[in-house]
Amino acid sequence: MKVYIVRHGQVPHNALRKYCTVDEDLNELGITQAEELREKMKDIKFDIIISSPYIRAKHTANIINVNNIKIIYDDRIKERSCGDLSGKPLEVTDREEYWNYNTSIQYGTSENIKDFFNRVYSFLDELKQKDYNAVLIVAHSGVSKGFSAYFEGINDGKFLSRGLKNCEIKEYEL
């Protein structure tokens, strides 16, 4: 089964480089990014689209869904919760350490990276049992890091640079 993961288009907190737990919609640039991605993907045939239930992912999924494929939503592919870091600039943490699988540092009430990756792994393990040829996943940068860990391994444990940019797509074989 081919699995394509897309990160949603830009939202205000991305542009401001802040942590955010607010369920934000795409900004103008995010809509444009999704429209451009739709053009790049228009010839790829999907059996189903599975999206994070957050507005930004839903909106992106709807924009890129040129063939009006069924979209289902799964809580396991929500972004990693930043907890009480919400509203704070990204620089309040050591970003390398925040996305280090092997760290012992816990930033406030943010979701533990191992727990987060296990949530994503649970989604992928269940997806393996389905009889699809091609699936489109619309989610978040953190979720794409979890996909990277699942398909490419933990390696050195550093995931900061292993996430997708807004409206970037990556293909895996499951």
State mean pLDDT over 86-111.
Answer: 97
pTM: 0.97
Residue 134, helix vs strand vs coil: strand
Residue whose C-alpha is closest to residue 67's, from 43, 95, 83, 90: 43
Q: What is the CATH number of the domain that holds 162?
A: 3.40.50.1240
How many structural domains compose the chain? 1
Query: How far apart are alpha carbons 112 and 86 in whole angstroms?
Result: 15
Per-residue pLDDT, 35: 98
* Mean pLDDT for the chain overall: 97
The model's pLDDT over 87-97, given as tens digits with 9 standing for 90+, comes to 999 999 999 99
Per-residue pLDDT, 71: 98
**Strand (E) or helix (H) holding 14:** helix 12-16
Is 8 among the residues known to form the active site?
A: yes
The model's pLDDT over 151-170, given as tens digits with 9 standing for 90+, comes to 999 999 999 999 999 999 99
145, with CB counted inside 10 A (0-12, 13-18, 19+), is buried
Range of the domain at 51: 2-173
The model's pLDDT over 15-34, given as tens digits with 9 standing for 90+, comes to 999 999 999 999 999 999 99
Is 79 among the residues known to form the active site?
A: yes
Options 13, 24, 59, 79, the catalytic residue = 79
